[in-house]
Structure 1
Amino acid sequence: MTVPPRPTPPAGPEHTPARHGPSGADDPERVLGAIGSSWHWALATALATLLPGILILVWPDETLHILAVIIGIYLLLAGFFRFIMAFGPESHGERITRLLLAVLFVLAGVLCLRNPLQTIAALSLIVGVTWLVSGMVTVYLAVAAKGLPHRGILFGAGALGVAAGIVVLALPTESAVVLTRLLGLWLVLLGLLEVGVAFTLRAGLSRAAKDRGLTF
């Protein structure tokens, strides 16, 4: 979000108590906007997706009994990072849409952690619906945000999320090991694509900073 400079308050003792720190430091929206515009949050989201996937693929048998915990933590972290990113520049997406998506991830994470011993069928339903809705929203943002550089990468990440959700929802859940490895594989693929999105965002922010004559 491009934040205009904060107007200088009029001089006078009645305005002195309102200044609690540096310009903008007492405005939560300005602070979140400055933080959310950083590409590092997109990279953190990618790592929060990629690392659990690698863990599940490397130790499928060991992680089977704590699969819901791993997936729950992944969803909570992804939801938190997406919440922060929702306060970034609004030119590349709608804030309300991104906030709703962040809430979806957090609620799904809470459902996974609320009952770690739930059945594989219930876990696959939670993850499948989350990926499906998230992928559809990501595809929408990629199509609607005309000024977004390299929209193809974001569109690909959204399409992969849609495919992952459909496959997880349609796959029979009799085999917990098969579903565990499938979830791990999808997490790795989604994480790699999200890494590409993060570095694409970095390049876009760097280009914008150079156009404004700033050092990125």
Structure 2
Amino acid sequence: MTVSPGPGPRTGPEPERGRADAIPETGPEQQLARLGGSWTWLLGSALATLVPGIIVLAWPDETLHVLAVLIGLYLLVTGVFRFVSAFAREHGERATAVLVAVLYVVAGVLCLRHPLQTIAVLSLVVGVLWLVTGMLTAYTAVAAKDLPHRGILMGAGFLGIVAGIVVLALPAESAFALTRLLGLWLVLLGLVELIVALVWRAALRRADSGSLPGAPRAV
């Protein structure tokens, strides 16, 4: 999941520039931070999780090879979203976020390079990633006390933790069963991320309109 960094309250948005002034445009790093901090980037991340889940559930006759390719592409795309989003975090949290993004990309490459791997290996890769990222998301929700709608982010983290535990503790015995399990969790996680993106958009709009005492920092 792509998650929000801890909020950094500002003195208020400037009418001329809106939320675009949250991060000065002084270089590539700032540009990536602005992109990763936009609600549309969160929306893209949500769709990158939701769409593969729908495809997996709607395609009833996938082989393990096809499933591994779909999961590999999902991990690669999610890794890219997470890498860019990491630049919107505080420097103290950025290293961890980049590390998680790298893990996603590495896992995705492994799935694509070895598409005929066993069901157990595929379950292990996805389960561990969901468990770790779910814990990090929950930690963010607990630590970022000024984050709007922390409960939704906490729910997203909890769902990721449960998904990871279920995939790891209940390994599927066939590609068919694993397909249904992974597809279901991808859809659930994608829907939660979609809600987070819409909530973040609403928070940013309220901040720009001056209805909030301090503008939230985008993800």
TM exceeding 0.5: yes
Displacement after TM superposition at 1:35 (Å): 1.4
Tell me what 1:178 maps to. Answer: 177
One-letter amino acid of the counterpart of residue 83, structure 1: F
Displacement after TM superposition at 1:160 (Å): 0.6
What RMSD over aligned residues (CA atoms) do the two structures have, in Å? 2.1
One-letter amino acid of the counterpart of residue 67, structure 2: L
One-letter amino acid of the counterpart of residue 23, structure 2: V
| CA deviation profile, 1:36-89 (whole Å, cap 9, x unmatched) | 221111111110100010011111313543101100110111110111112226
One-letter amino acid of the counterpart of residue 98, structure 1: A
Displacement after TM superposition at 1:145 (Å): 0.7
Which SS does the other structure have where 2:171 is aligned? coil
Tell me what 1:188 maps to. Answer: 187
Which SS does the other structure have where 2:61 is aligned? helix
TM-score if structure 2 supplies the norm length?
0.81
Aligned partners of 2:137 and 2:63: how far apart in 1?
A: 29
Q: Which has the higher contact order (CA 8 A, sep 6+)?
A: 2
One-letter amino acid of the counterpart of residue 38, structure 1: S
Displacement after TM superposition at 1:176 (Å): 1.9
Displacement after TM superposition at 1:147 (Å): 1.1
Displacement after TM superposition at 1:90 (Å): 3.8
| CA deviation profile, 1:151-174 (whole Å, cap 9, x unmatched) | 111111111111011110111332
Tell me what 1:8 maps to. Answer: none
Aligned partners of 2:203 and 2:130: how far apart in 1?
A: 26
Which SS does the other structure have where 1:42 is aligned? helix
Displacement after TM superposition at 1:179 (Å): 1.2
Tell me what 2:162 maps to. Answer: 163
Aligned partners of 1:128 and 1:210: how far apart in 2?
A: 41
Cα pair 2:63 2:175 within 8 Å, conserved: no
Counting matched residue pairs gives 192
Aligned partners of 1:28 and 1:52: how far apart in 2?
A: 30
Displacement after TM superposition at 1:206 (Å): 1.5
Which SS does the other structure have where 1:60 is aligned? coil
Tell me what 2:145 maps to. Answer: 146
Displacement after TM superposition at 1:102 (Å): 1.4
| CA deviation profile, 1:66-118 (whole Å, cap 9, x unmatched) | 10110011011111011111222649x93223222212211211121120111
Displacement after TM superposition at 1:150 (Å): 0.4
Q: Which has the larger radius of gyration?
A: 1
Cα pair 1:56 1:63 within 8 Å, conserved: no
Aligned partners of 1:172 and 1:158: how far apart in 2?
A: 21
Aligned partners of 1:29 and 1:163: how far apart in 2?
A: 34
